[in-house]
Amino acid sequence: MDARVVMLVALGIVGGLLAPGCSTYHDPATGEEATYGMQTLKARLDVDVGTVYAAARRAADELNLKVMHASKDGISGQIRAYDAQRDQVEIRLGAMPEDRTLLAINVGPFGDKNKSLVLFEYILKNLSRAAQVAAAPSLQWGGQAVEPPRGQEP
């Protein structure tokens, strides 16, 4: 009986050491929240899948990741790439109700929290750029051309 208790306690300690805990990250610039656990960073974003996919593709390009596969449809998306250390970088997107997206980032076979967070920040930066472009006032087309003032011709 005592041997079983000792064995269960030992297994519990070993399991606790081998299984990393879950941690939460708050982006200071946007206030978005992500959780990192089981070698995967996950976040719920209030943006549609297509916009997040474009931001993730741009982030992969900005970080000079070698994209091997990229695809999306109306309800999901996936980007698979490799970094300079030949770690596989996988970005998965899933549509949620009300134009929200579930973002999951996995780097390497055992996960890399720091690389995942850097990629997440780049995606958020690109999403904020997209929001700024969408919020910019649009120019009216089709109107009469305006000539520049005298003396300021190009």
pLDDT in tens, 33-63: 999 999 999 999 999 999 999 999 999 999 9
pLDDT in tens, 80-131: 999 999 999 999 999 999 999 999 999 999 999 999 999 999 999 999 987 7
In DSSP notation, 21-84 reads --EEEE-TTT--EEEEETTEEEEEESS-HHHHHHHHHHHHHHTT-EEEEEEE-SSEEEEEEE-T
Asked whether 57 and 63 are in contact (CB, 8 A), the reply is: no
CA neighbours closer than 13 Å in the CB half-sphere of residue 116: 27
Tokens of 40: 């995967």
For residue 52, which amino acid is it?
Answer: V
pTM: 0.74
- The residues spanned by each domain of the chain are 28-48+61-110
pLDDT in tens, 117-150: 999 999 999 999 877 766 666 555 555 555 666 7
Sign of the alpha-carbon dihedral angle for 125, 127, 128, 133: positive
Residue 103: other Cβ atoms inside 10 A: 26
Q: 12 or 35: which carries more pLDDT confidence? A: 35
Q: How many residues does the chain have?
A: 154
Question: What was the pLDDT predicted at 28?
Answer: 84
Model confidence at 17: pLDDT above 60? no
29 confidence band (pLDDT: 50, 70, 90): confident
| Residue (of 77, 28, 24) closest to 55 by Cα position | 77
Question: What was the pLDDT predicted at 64?
Answer: 97
